[in-house]
Structures are given as C-alpha cells and as structure tokens.
C-alpha cells in the first residue's frame, strides 16, 4: 500500500484565494486593506527567506505589508518600543516577530508585549489561554494549517486516536488543544516519554513536530493512519521532515516535506491577518475561512 500524498501546496493555494476574496471584502467594508507587520531581527538567511515569502504572499492576497528589519544587536527596549508603535498603529492588524530572536533578547518579553488581538502567530499567552478554554482568539498558524489538512481527510475527527509528538508552545501544545477541541482522544509524547513507539502504534492520526530528521519510523505507523509531518530540517540531503520517508508505504495519507505543512503555515498567517482585521474593525468575515 502506498499512502495518498497530501498536497499542502495546492491546499494552501486555495486557502490563499479565499483569503484574497475576504481581504477584498474587508477593503470594501472598512475602506482600507488589512495590514501585516513582520519584524525580523538580524540576518539569518533562512529567516530572511521566510520573511520575504510572507511579504510576497501578503501583497498577493491584497493586503498591506510592513517589513521592519532590525540589526542583530538591537536592544530589547528598542524592539519593544517598535512593538508598542505597531500596537498603536491602526493600519496594522497583524504583528509577527520572526523567531528565534538573538540570545540577548527575552522572547517572552517581546511576545507578551504584542496586542493579543494583533497576535496573528497566536503565541501570546492570552491566545494560548483562549484556545485552551474554547474562547475565540488567534490560533498558531502551523497547527491550524495541520488541522485544516486533517479535516479535509477526516470530516469526522471525533473519537479518533491522535498522537502528537512534541510539546512546544508553537506547534505541539496548540496542536493537541485543537485536536482535543475536535473530540479526538489525544496523547502528547515528548523527550521524556518512556515508549514513544507504543503510543504512535495506536494512532489513527500522527502529528510529528520533533525537529529530528526522519525520527518517526515506518514500523511505528498503524497501517492506514494519517501522518502529518511538521518537521523542517535542513540536511546535506536537502530539506527533510521528522518522518522517515518509508512511512509512506504504511500510512493511508501523509504530508510531504517540502510541499506539505510549510505552505499551509504561510496561508494560515494570511487567513489570521484578515480575521484579525475584521474583528478589530467590527466587520463580518467568512466564518468558513
């Protein structure tokens, strides 16, 4: 058996089309375009590439893009002052501070400074709390993109066994919260879990967010399970995921790397920006977005 490949790139393109339609409706109703501010500190080449592709996607969706590039030695106070200005700027609906930040800057201090209603990454503890308690908020882009792919394959997620590998605040924890909200039976495993394989073997849905190339072995996968590979690892062999490619011979459906979750992350960022704009302006937005 060979798994169906989940085409995240194509799915992301359809989501970006719907976002563009919603952005145009917003512009008509609110008299201005939705605006996304992206802040990049330092010149890490990979981060630079992401920031450029976010800027392009923002403009292609009919939204305003504000890029702020600061030098690697910028002080924490100066970065926080920029966040304060973006919070106060009415043309800015979404604020994204590219992570990781240089070591001399306290990431937490910067993220908690962002207005939660402009926090399109969904990283602010207020948005984490809203997600955990079922309140309307902004949901982290990568896990929400994974959920959209999963819902496409499993219109009924309720009752399915889901195993999330990894417990970071930006992927694993919000992914588990979203699956729980969908009434999956959710297990989160991490580096201190005694028998990772034993948990993964029971799963109808596996989401791998570990950061170790090829970590998830084909033998761990229950035949027919759906596998979402969040991993983005740069190796000598190129960009690889957290799942061994052999898993495609066992799974029912699997996301490729590249072309799986990565493009969804950017498309959901666009989606979150229009949603944030509509809520801030008090205008309607397509509830299916």
Q: What is the DSSP string of 175-236?
A: HHHHHHHTT-EEEEE-TT-S-HHHHHTT-SEEEE---STT-B-GGGSPTT-EEEE---EEET
Is 209 among the residues that bind ligand NDP (CB under 6 A)?
A: yes
Q: Is 181 a catalytic residue?
A: no
Interacting span for ligand NDP (CB under 6 A) from 61-69, 107-115, 217-225, 227-235: 227-235
Q: According to the annotation, is 165 in a ligand binding site?
A: no
Q: Are 185 and 161 in contact (CB under 8 A)?
A: yes
Is 210 among the residues that bind ligand NDP (CB under 6 A)?
A: yes
Is 194 among the residues that bind ligand NDP (CB under 6 A)?
A: no
Q: Are 244 and 217 in contact (CB under 8 A)?
A: yes
Nearer to ligand NDP, 154 or 167 (CB): 167
**Candidate list 33, 54, 118, 222, residue with the active-site label:** 54
Closest to 207 measured CA to CA, from 247, 266, 158, 267? 247
Closest to 37 measured CA to CA, from 113, 142, 114? 114
> How many other CB atoms are there within 10 angstroms of residue 288's CB atom?
6
Contact positions with ligand GUE (CB under 6 A) in 137-166: 141
Helix (H, G, I), strand (E, B) or coil at 122: coil
CB of 81 to ligand NDP, least distance (A): 27
Identify what 192 binds: Mg ion, ligand NDP, ligand GUE, none; CB under 5 to 8 Å per kind.
ligand NDP
Interacting span for ligand NDP (CB under 6 A) from 17-25, 51-59, 80-88, 168-176: 168-176
Q: Is 98 a catalytic residue?
A: yes
Q: According to the annotation, is 166 in a ligand binding site?
A: yes
Residue 211 CA to residue 230 CA, distance in Å, equals 8
Nearer to Mg ion, 100 or 129 (CB): 100
Q: According to the annotation, is 167 in a ligand binding site?
A: yes
Q: Are 243 and 216 in contact (CB under 8 A)?
A: yes
Q: According to the annotation, is 172 in a ligand binding site?
A: no
Is 258 among the residues that bind ligand GUE (CB under 6 A)?
A: yes
> How many other CB atoms are there within 10 angstroms of residue 16's CB atom?
20
Q: Is 44 a catalytic residue?
A: no
Give binding residues for NADP(+) as ranges: 166-168, 232
Give binding residues as ranges: 166-168, 232
| Contacting positions for ligand GUE (CB under 6 A) | 50, 96-99, 121, 141, 232, 239, 257-259, 262-263, 265-266
Which residues does the annotation mark as catalytic? 54, 98, 121
């Amino acid at each position: 058996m060979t798994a169906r490949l989940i085409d995240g790139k194509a799915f992301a393109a359809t989501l970006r089309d719907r976002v563009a339609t919603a952005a145009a409706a917003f512009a008509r109703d609110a008299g201005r375009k939705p605006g996304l501010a992206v802040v990049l500190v330092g010149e890490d080449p990979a981060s630079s590439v992401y920031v450029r592709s976010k800027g392009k996607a923002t403009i292609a969706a009919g939204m305003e893009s504000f890029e702020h590039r600061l030098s690697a030695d910028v002080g924490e106070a100066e970065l926080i002052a920029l966040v304060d200005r973006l919070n106060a700027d009415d043309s800015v609906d979404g604020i994204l501070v590219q992570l990781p930040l240089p070591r001399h800057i306290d990431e937490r201090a910067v993220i908690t400074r962002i207005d939660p209603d402009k926090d399109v990454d969904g990283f602010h503890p207020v948005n984490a709390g809203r997600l955990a308690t079922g309140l309307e908020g902004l949901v982290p882009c990568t896990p929400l993109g994974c959920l959209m792919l999963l819902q496409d394959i499993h219109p009924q997620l309720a009752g399915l066994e889901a195993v999330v590998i990894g417990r970071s605040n930006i992927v694993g924890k919000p992914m588990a919260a979203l699956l729980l909200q969908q009434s999956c039976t959710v297990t989160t495993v991490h580096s201190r879990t005694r028998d990772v394989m034993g948990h993964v073997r029971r799963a109808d849905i596996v989401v791998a967010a570990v950061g170790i190339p090829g970590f998830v072995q084909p033998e761990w996968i229950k035949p027919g399970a759906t596998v979402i590979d969040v991993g983005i690892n740069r190796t000598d062999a190129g960009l690889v995921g957290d799942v061994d490619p052999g898993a495609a011979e066992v799974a029912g459906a699997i996301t490729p790397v590249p072309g799986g979750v990565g493009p969804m992350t950017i498309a959901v960022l666009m989606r979150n920006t229009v949603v944030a704009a509509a809520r801030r302006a008090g205008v309607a937005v397509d509830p299916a977005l």
